[in-house]
Structure 1
Amino acid sequence: MLRLIAHRDFPFYTPKGAIPVGGALRDLLLGERPLDLDFAAWDPEKAAEEAKGRYGGTLFPLDPERGHYRLVAGALTLDFTPLEGSPEEDLLRRDYRVNALLWLKGRVFGLPGAEEDLNRRLLVPVQEENLYADPLRSLRGVRLAATLGLGLPPETRRALARHARFLQENPSALPARERVREELAKLLLCKRAPFGLHLLERTGLLGIYLPELTHLVGLHQGGVHHLPAWEHTLSVLFHLLWLWPEAPLEARLAALYHDAGKPLTRRYDPEVGRYRFFGHAEVGAEMAKAALFWLRFPKEVVEKAAHLVRRHMDRPPEGTKALRRFYFKRRDLLPALPYLMAADRLAAKGVEAEAWPLLEAYREALKTPLPQEPLLSGEEVMALLGLRPGPLVGEALRALLEAQAEGSVASQEEARRFLLYWRDGRTAQATPAPDHPG
């Protein structure tokens, strides 16, 4: 039943008693450089130990009872699982035909239909029931379609939709959150992320893994928005990646959640004759934080994504000094914030022309990098102002650093004069006005 698909070498070390299988072979045949290697082995632990002797790295027993082991060696990840039955039987248990491949003695073999799927770049399940053997397989299918540019034929979409309904009705069958997070992160970090998210919605999987975002589907916005909220969200993500292809995960998550609060804040305003969404950035930030923490994303990623969502509606001021002060106060969000703001405008109709001046003004204002440290130390500030250690010293240093950021202070001498003026102004504000007889 196995078909010869190609004659080619496998450019990685293969332990004795192990057979390269799955996605690495698929990637090689599609012209990609694989970093995740899968091996089916008669003795997975022994094969993993042998590979460790060759590659070094760290060996993890993922599930020793089932014989699943993982070796992480630099950029390579090698997974070892038991070879149960014949190689053909092993392939018949796999998820998609493009993954049902094995390598033996310089030749790649696959199931019937695998070569056609590879040539036509299609994703077809080996058997639909195989999706239910591992509940993550439908989500992985969408991720593979996005990362590899594979098409989903109608029957595959229907199979994924049926699996989504099964997961909706059987929440106890849902995969571990950590596994879901890994697949979603891989999807978001690929250049076709908007297409992958579109597939999630079309197959019903969006409601399984990101249910809070389903309320954006079909949500009319009006005003400067010519797209419903979900299509606008995908457009923002598309434009973010167009403007900034190397955008990190937190920026992509912020694009995904930037309007998540709109369904909860939608109110009709009779004065303007349309719906408004006051406070949606703050609500969306809290929704993003709750959802992403639940999916076990790293705390730093979650906090930054939520902060970007909260600040995406801020309007940058005009003038170099004011603009430098604006971005200095949001320096932990740079350069993601102006790119997100520009992408949000490009995805609307009527304000898209604002995107280019916004980015140009940001780049022009920050030609001189923002300061990292104040020109005077805490000890120098205390000596100059006659202060003891305490909160007032930190307040003075923050004021000095902000003055440096806007360009008002450029030398230590200017820093000393600034702090003396700052102290005098602060003292004057704290001195009560004299009483007047009345």
Structure 2
Amino acid sequence: MLRPIAHRDFPFYTPKGAIPVGGALRDLLLGRRPQDLDFVAEDPRKAAQDAQSHLGGTLFPLDEERGQYRLVTGGLVLDFSPLEGSLEEDLLKRDFRLNALFWRQNRILGIRGADEDLNRRVLVPVREANLYEDHLRSLRAVRLAASLGLGLPGETRNALSHHARFLQAHLEALPARERVKEELSRLLLSPRAAWGFHLLERTGLLDVYLPELRLLVGLKQGGVHHLDGWQHTLSVLFHLAWLWPEAPLEARLAALYHDVGKPLTRRFDPEAGRFRFLGHAEVGAELTGASLEWLRFPKETVERAKALVRRHMDRPPEGKQALRRFYFRRHHLLPALPYLMAADRLGTKGVEKEAWEVLEAYWETLSEPLPERPLLSGEEVMALLDLKPGPQVGRALEALLLAQAEGRVRTREEARAFLLYWKGDGTNTPA
């Protein structure tokens, strides 16, 4: 039986014959402004065309056979689906009670329990069986909980665990990798990403979607590491977002995967009296690449995450000139690399102060931005050194750019003097 949840306007254009449903209404009730709007209609194509005539934008079919259409306009995404049966029947097929809502005549109505879930700010399935109608729903539950700050009561966690075990036993039921990638990305970019990945592990969904990270759970490290491998990973992910709330996806992926190579490189060192993980950054970079490629992440995202994992153990040198050289040679990883290094140190015990030393040195040293191009062109270098086009010109430009980064060359006159002294074999260029 449907029941009233709230009296309020729907602050978006509603095509004739279309009924707003689902997550947009949930977001409004939670005090959020939605960007994804869902509508049901007896003729979804006609309703979508009506919306396009009023709002503009691009309209395309998601699934013409099923009558599903999408309109993208003005920062909004409007999805239209057919109404099959009554509204109550439609709502009872949805994933969670907080999404089983519709709007009509300035009222939001929902199924039994939706108002209770709203007051408690929790996520509860409409029926546990509904998770099996779209196998992405259990992963989406964790993402919604993390991004919206919703709790998962015991009954929900049990349902997610049951579904995780089903997926492990029926790999053919796994959702398309592109859909999994999208949910994991949105989870990582949420402000409670570390808590969300904790929930993935506790419900068994980590084993389903990221089994390579499951090996970190319970992995004892020793030394400055008071946390096991998985708890440390969650701490690094938390601290990265805390230090750098605008951290992009590749930086967060690197935080999640930075120690994925440790289970394969764990060896006991009798002299040190503890386990060591020599080479884990290199091994971890390759595992990161394989995992993210399998999940269909964009190539550029994969390569940057791999490079960050590979370089996260690099130790910045002392001295302004050396530090500028260090970051210049890793300029394509800035500013993610120093933030990842700092977050890694904050996830330990006893060396936390190094996190602030890394960041303060980075901020101070790069208060003067690194150069983006040499002060002289290739043609000027060839004329100055009497060179023909070839590798020697490239080496000269590279040496000049490095000297600029170190602060040894600041003007075009100094650039000419530097190159006249430069021998071309690197003997006057610090390593």
TM over 0.5: yes
Q: Work out the CA distance in 2 between the residues paired with 1:209 and 1:60.
A: 30
Q: What letter is aligned with 1:230?
A: W
Q: Work out the CA distance in 2 between the residues paired with 1:353 and 1:182.
A: 36
Q: What letter is aligned with 1:157?
A: R
Q: Work out the CA distance in 1 between the residues paired with 2:395 and 2:240.
A: 36
CA displacement at 1:68 relative to structure 2: 1.2
Farther-moved stretch of structure 1 (27-36 vs 413-422): 413-422
The answer to whether structure 1 residue 163 and structure 2 residue 163 are counterparts is yes
Give per-residue Cα distances to partners, 1:297-338, cap 9 Å, x unaligned.
111111111100000000000000000000000001100000
Residue number in structure 1 paired with 2:421: 421
| Pairing 1:224-263 to 2, within 5 Å after superposition | 224-263=224-263
Describe the SS at the equivalent of 2:161: helix
The answer to whether structure 1 residue 76 and structure 2 residue 76 are counterparts is yes
Farther-moved stretch of structure 1 (417-426 vs 216-225): 417-426
Q: What letter is aligned with 1:139?
A: L
| Pairing 1:3-402 to 2, within 5 Å after superposition | 3-402=3-402
CA displacement at 1:262 relative to structure 2: 0.3
* Gapped regions of structure 2 (runs ≥ 5): none
Q: What letter is aligned with 1:242?
A: W
CA displacement at 1:46 relative to structure 2: 1.1
CA RMSD of superposed structures (Å) = 1.2
Q: What letter is aligned with 1:415?
A: A
Give per-residue Cα distances to partners, 1:198-225, cap 9 Å, x unaligned.
0000000011111110000000000110
Describe the SS at the equivalent of 1:102: strand
Describe the SS at the equivalent of 2:109: strand
Residue number in structure 2 paired with 1:432: none
Give per-residue Cα distances to partners, 1:250-309, cap 9 Å, x unaligned.
000000000000001111111101110011001111111111111111111111111000
Q: Work out the CA distance in 2 between the residues paired with 1:373 and 1:426.
A: 19
Q: Work out the CA distance in 2 between the residues paired with 1:4 and 1:396.
A: 74
Q: Work out the CA distance in 1 between the residues paired with 2:223 and 2:334.
A: 28
Describe the SS at the equivalent of 2:11: coil
Give per-residue Cα distances to partners, 1:345-397, cap 9 Å, x unaligned.
00001211111111100000001110011000000000011111111111110
Q: Work out the CA distance in 1 between the residues paired with 2:283 and 2:102.
A: 49
Describe the SS at the equivalent of 1:20: strand
Give per-residue Cα distances to partners, 1:140-166, cap 9 Å, x unaligned.
000000000000010100000000011
Q: Work out the CA distance in 1 between the residues paired with 2:242 and 2:392.
A: 45
**Count of residue pairs brought into register by the alignment:** 429
Q: What letter is aligned with 2:186?
A: K
Q: Are the structure 2 counterparts of residues 243 and 322 from structure 1 closer, same or farther at C-alpha, using a change threshold of 3 Å?
A: same
Q: Work out the CA distance in 2 between the residues paired with 1:158 and 1:387.
A: 72
**8 Å contact kept, 1:385–1:423:** no
CA displacement at 1:74 relative to structure 2: 3.1
Describe the SS at the equivalent of 2:327: helix
Q: What letter is aligned with 1:160?
A: L
Q: Are the structure 2 counterparts of residues 426 and 336 from structure 1 closer, same or farther at C-alpha, using a change threshold of 3 Å?
A: closer
CA displacement at 1:423 relative to structure 2: 2.3
Q: What letter is aligned with 1:134?
A: D
Farther-moved stretch of structure 1 (349-358 vs 142-151): 349-358
* Gapped regions of structure 1 (runs ≥ 5): 430-438
Q: What letter is aligned with 1:352?
A: E
Q: What letter is aligned with 2:143?
A: R
Using the aligned pairs only, state the percent identity.
74
Q: Work out the CA distance in 1 between the residues paired with 2:359 and 2:426.
A: 36
Give per-residue Cα distances to partners, 1:74-99, cap 9 Å, x unaligned.
31111111111000100000000000
Residue number in structure 2 paired with 1:433: none
Which structure 1 residue ranges, 4+ long, deviate > 6 Å from structure 2?
Answer: none
Farther-moved stretch of structure 1 (78-87 vs 46-55): 46-55
Q: What letter is aligned with 1:54?
A: H
Residue number in structure 2 paired with 1:435: none
Q: What letter is aligned with 1:251?
A: A
Q: Are the structure 2 counterparts of residues 179 and 273 from structure 1 closer, same or farther at C-alpha, using a change threshold of 3 Å?
A: same
Q: Work out the CA distance in 2 between the residues paired with 1:36 and 1:427.
A: 59
CA displacement at 1:57 relative to structure 2: 1.5
CA displacement at 1:17 relative to structure 2: 1.2
Q: Are the structure 2 counterparts of residues 427 and 232 from structure 1 closer, same or farther at C-alpha, using a change threshold of 3 Å?
A: closer
Q: Work out the CA distance in 2 between the residues paired with 1:158 and 1:427.
A: 66
Residue number in structure 2 paired with 1:436: none
CA displacement at 1:425 relative to structure 2: 5.9
**8 Å contact kept, 2:37–2:76:** yes
Q: What letter is aligned with 2:67?
A: G
Q: What letter is aligned with 2:60?
A: F
Describe the SS at the equivalent of 2:37: strand
Q: Are the structure 2 counterparts of residues 94 and 391 from structure 1 closer, same or farther at C-alpha, using a change threshold of 3 Å?
A: same
CA displacement at 1:424 relative to structure 2: 6.5
Describe the SS at the equivalent of 2:355: helix
Q: Work out the CA distance in 1 between the residues paired with 2:240 and 2:364.
A: 20
Q: Are the structure 2 counterparts of residues 425 and 83 from structure 1 closer, same or farther at C-alpha, using a change threshold of 3 Å?
A: closer
Describe the SS at the equivalent of 1:216: coil
Q: Work out the CA distance in 2 between the residues paired with 1:296 and 1:49.
A: 32
Q: Work out the CA distance in 1 between the residues paired with 2:428 and 2:31.
A: 71
CA displacement at 1:426 relative to structure 2: 5.4
Describe the SS at the equivalent of 1:40: strand
TM-score using structure 1 length:
0.96
